Chains A and B, each alone.
Chain A
Amino acid sequence: MTGPNQTGRLEVQPDVAAFVAAVRARLADLTDEEREELLGGLEADLSERLAEGEADLGDPAAYAAELRAAAGLDVRTGRGLRGRLAPVSRTPLHLEVVGLLDAGRRRVDKEVGSRPWATEAWRLVVAVRPAWWVLRAWLAVELLDRVVGPAEYLTVMPSLGNQVVGGVLLLAAVVGSVLVGTGRLWPGSHEGTDPVRRLALLLLNLVGVVVVLPVVLDGFPGAYDSHALANGEIYANASSGYGGSGLRVDGHFVRNVFAYDAEGNPLPGVQLYDQKGRPLEVSQDPYLGSYRSSGARVHTYPWFNGDQKLFNVFPLPVREQRGDQPVRDAWVTTRPPALPRPPLAVVPPAVLPTPPAPEPQVTPSPSASVSPTGPASPSRRPSTRPSGRPSARPSPSTDSEKPRSR
């Protein structure tokens, strides 16, 4: 019951309306009739008091107590059937909560009012309140995106896997949030309304700032990542020296390798070694393990030989996840890593030139490379320069290797 009472009209000064609402909240345990009887004409009277130059209406709690005492209506009289049927709204806790909230509000008002700079700042804060309404709507949608959306970094415009869905949801959330902010939608509140609403709103706003905001911000790529994302590759520039050793193509680290047989069909589980028998490993730097694959962000995980991680067996299993670090127990989670779908379903078959004279033994030449033509695959002749130091064997330095591989 927050509407204007029958004897009040709306062109009442806002502080008078707030004061009456606050008093009304403290009379919540009375019947409607009793309450309206007490409050009827109060707005007019208070307005008159203010008009006469009275600066302050005082404490609504004390006012309500005085009103009650004089009217012979004690708190929690429990009179009548109504009282027994609706005990919830009559608990002293209910009134206590209202009192606490109001006291907090009054305290802020007082503190703010006593300092000119704070008054000015507070006015500004109140003025930009609608910005918070929009922000919290955006936070809610981003949170939804983070929780149920695809395992991808969050974007400023929430996508939820579909730009239209994200946009529509954001719009709806903003409208809802503004309605709540203006008190038109539950739990919109102001001084004097039901304490449950006020508490609910207070709590939601608090959770929004303290919990949701960090969670959502954490879902965005860091500044470092953003820079790399803008450049198309994360930490993939070999010249930066970052990422240590690993397979590279044209200066970029190779994240995963897809092998096809001579007929052009994908080969899962291929172990690669170079001409000296050294494993051809991709970089083991965890930050290089994540990349985008068909719209989602995936992270690579190695094959195993016993406890030994093998980064030269391809394709590396991948797992959809947001973070750019491998998850420690990824294999025992509900979504273990799985072999990714090759970027190309099939590639053109490859054949060796058939020599006119029948030769029983054909020595495979390294130059007979499979060269798929799809744009997504490393189609150029890979200049594989394994500079990784497999634990087992020593290998020559990268520099001495370079001229030979070209």
Chain B
Amino acid sequence: MDTTQLLKGVLDLAVLAVVDDDDGYGYDVVRRLRAGGLDDVGDASVYGTLRRLYAQGALTSYVVPSDEGPHRKYYGITASGRSQLKRQREDWDRFSRTVSTLLATVGTTTERGTR
């Protein structure tokens, strides 16, 4: 199964969770997502998601000047972002539980049927 399709649905949630954990700039968020196991995540997808969440008001952004190279644009979570995260986390928990239960039930049924 193409996990990128699954990822799309939960990228908002994942990004919100990472930024809620700590503010970060684009590539930093990508790295933390990958470190968390989402190896396939594309950085452009993450940047786009950050931008969209920012446009929705779920994130704030601020620029941190750097002496060595280009400036970094950091994202932080807003109150609205936090409530969105909370809501989506509950949605996800419910959804994943449902799917897991479904898969488990169907799996046992199938097993029974084959016996």
Contact = CB atoms under 8 A, between A and B. Distances in A.
Nearest to B49: A70
Contact of A42 (B42, B47, B61, B69): B47
Interface of B: 11, 25-27, 30, 42-49, 51-52, 54-55, 61, 63, 66, 69-73
Contacts of B48: 38, 66-73
Contact of B70 (A44, A68, A69): A44
| Interface residues of chain B: helix, strand, loop or mixed (majority) | helix
Interface of A: 6-9, 11-12, 37-38, 40-49, 62-64, 66-73
B45 A70 contact: yes
Contacts of B45: 66-67, 69-70
Contact of B25 (A38, A41, A73): A41
A42 B46 CA distance: 11
SS of A interface (majority): helix
Contacts of A8: 70-71
Contacts of A70: 11, 44-49, 51-52
Given A44-B71, A73-B48, 14 more contacts: A7-B71, A8-B71, A9-B69, A11-B70, A41-B63, A43-B70, A44-B69, A44-B73, A47-B69, A64-B44, A66-B45, A67-B45, A71-B49, A71-B52
Contacts of A9: 69-71
Given A41-B26, A45-B25, A71-B49, A66 B44 contact: yes
Listed from nearest, the 9 A-B pairs whose CB atoms lie closest are A70-B48, A41-B73, A71-B48, A66-B44, A45-B27, A44-B70, A70-B45, A67-B44, A71-B51
A62 B45 CA distance: 11
B51 A7 contact: no
